């Protein structure tokens, strides 16, 4: 059993989650290759399980990830697959499940693909990493959603026990 994990990450949080998952799965004696969507140029058919992770920016998952899913839909349907989304709305307990997170719900209404497992993780808020435009926009979004608006804020909302539980699911599915 060989697993492929492909991700899209802008500020590194989705990559951090993927690195964590890869380490957990390697410890569980799984074979796993990790690629950024921009670097992946292999044949995905050589893998038995395919895991795809993407962060949300301005309401949407990365377009290259969407393109990959659409291009390989027939192949994906023959494999065991998992998808996870990383976003800040998932910091709210009422929105941290695949069937309660608005981005995940919207994503699967639009795309013609049903992965075996779907997950959602809260990401990281780190104002200092953002350029001026993004900082202002995120501050506004945080104000709207009653989150931290102090631009010195750096909070990792990711629940690592949740990520660890996901790794166990990935081992056994």
List residues binding ligand FMN (CB under 6 A). Answer: 9-14, 55-59, 86-89, 123-124, 130, 134, 138
CB of 43 to ligand FMN, least distance (A): 26
CB of 48 to ligand FMN, least distance (A): 26
d(CA 45, CA 151): 45
The nearer residue to ligand FMN, 79 or 87, going by C-beta atoms, is 87
Strand partners, 156: 124
DSSP 39: T
d(CA 81, CA 50): 5
Cβ-based neighbours of 153, under 8 Å, separated by 6 or more? 125, 126, 127
CB of 80 to ligand FMN, least distance (A): 24
The nearer residue to ligand FMN, 12 or 44, going by C-beta atoms, is 12
The nearer residue to ligand FMN, 3 or 14, going by C-beta atoms, is 14
The nearer residue to ligand FMN, 75 or 141, going by C-beta atoms, is 141
Residues 42-51 as b/e (b if ≥16 CB within 10 A, e otherwise) read eebeebebbb
Number of residues assigned to the chain: 173
CB of 6 to ligand FMN, least distance (A): 13
């Amino acid at each position: 059993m060989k697993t492929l994990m492909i991700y899209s990450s802008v500020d590194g949080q989705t990559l951090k989650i993927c690195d964590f998952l890869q380490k957990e799965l390697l410890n569980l004696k799984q074979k796993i290759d990790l690629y950024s969507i921009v670097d992946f140029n292999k044949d995905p058919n050589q893998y038995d399980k395919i895991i795809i992770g993407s962060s949300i920016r301005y309401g949407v998952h990365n377009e290259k990830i969407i393109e990959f899913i659409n291009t390989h839909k027939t192949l994906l349907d023959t494999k065991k697959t998992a998808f996870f989304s990383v976003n800040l709305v998932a910091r709210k307990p009422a929105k941290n499940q695949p069937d309660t997170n608005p981005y995940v719900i919207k994503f699967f209404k639009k795309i013609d693909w049903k992965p075996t497992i779907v997950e959602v993780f809260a990401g990281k808020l780190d104002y200092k990493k953002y350029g001026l435009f993004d900082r202002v926009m995120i501050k506004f979004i945080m104000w709207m959603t009653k989150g931290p608006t102090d631009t010195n804020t750096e909070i990792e909302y990711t629940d690592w026990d949740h990520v660890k539980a996901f790794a166990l699911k990935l081992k056994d599915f």
